[in-house]
Amino acid sequence: MPGPYLQEASVASTKVFEEAAEAHERDPRKYPYGYLTGGSEEFDAVRVFVWFRSIDELIESLLEVEPRMYGVEPKRGLEAYQERVRPILERVRQQGLDEALRAELAPESDGKFVVDWWGTYADLRGGRGEFGCQVIDGYLGEERRGQLLPAGEDTAFINYLRPSAE
């Protein structure tokens, strides 16, 4: 029979996984701020987009949910991680989802997870930045490479952003 701490940890872990799954399933047209994340191990190539209503919600996820998805728990490194990343994320509140700040965040995750991109759905949909262009080109395919996402293709594009369950 697990002790109270293990039961509490199990409930907390379930809640974290539920929050992460919910953020992944959100429609970025209604939750326009997001990031692309995954494990940093070479064999852990799965990346997922997660979406939020505000920058504050995104920051909260990077402080509380994302590290715990990779085993960084309270009293086991979470507090130290939060102490290191909080100043970077506070600057995000002031400066926005800036690429230099994202790069600054990378070493602070202790190699547990990566944030490959952050921004808005409008930026991604519009093919802004190198990453946005790559995603749009990947979706549109060779024959339409370099074009913008046509009106009316948002639902198909959002489905493209979600990895298949296969």
For residue 125 the two structure tokens come to 């949909």
Rounding to the nearest 10 degrees, give the CA dihedral for residues 116, 132, 21, 72: 10
Q: Angle of helix 154-161 relative to helix 129-140, nearest 10 degrees?
A: 110
Local structure of 68: helix, strand or coil: helix
For residue 106 the two structure tokens come to 């990378």
CA dist 79 and 81 (Å) reads 5
CA dist 102 and 19 (Å) reads 22
Count the Cβ atoms, other than its own, within 10 Å of residue 125: 22
Local structure of 51: helix, strand or coil: strand
Contact 130, 99 (CB under 8 A): no
pLDDT tens track of the chain, all 166 residues? 343 333 344 555 788 889 999 999 999 999 999 999 988 766 557 889 999 999 999 999 999 999 998 888 888 889 999 999 999 999 999 999 999 999 999 877 666 888 999 999 999 999 999 999 999 999 999 888 888 898 899 999 999 999 754 4
Element (H, E) at 37: strand 33-39
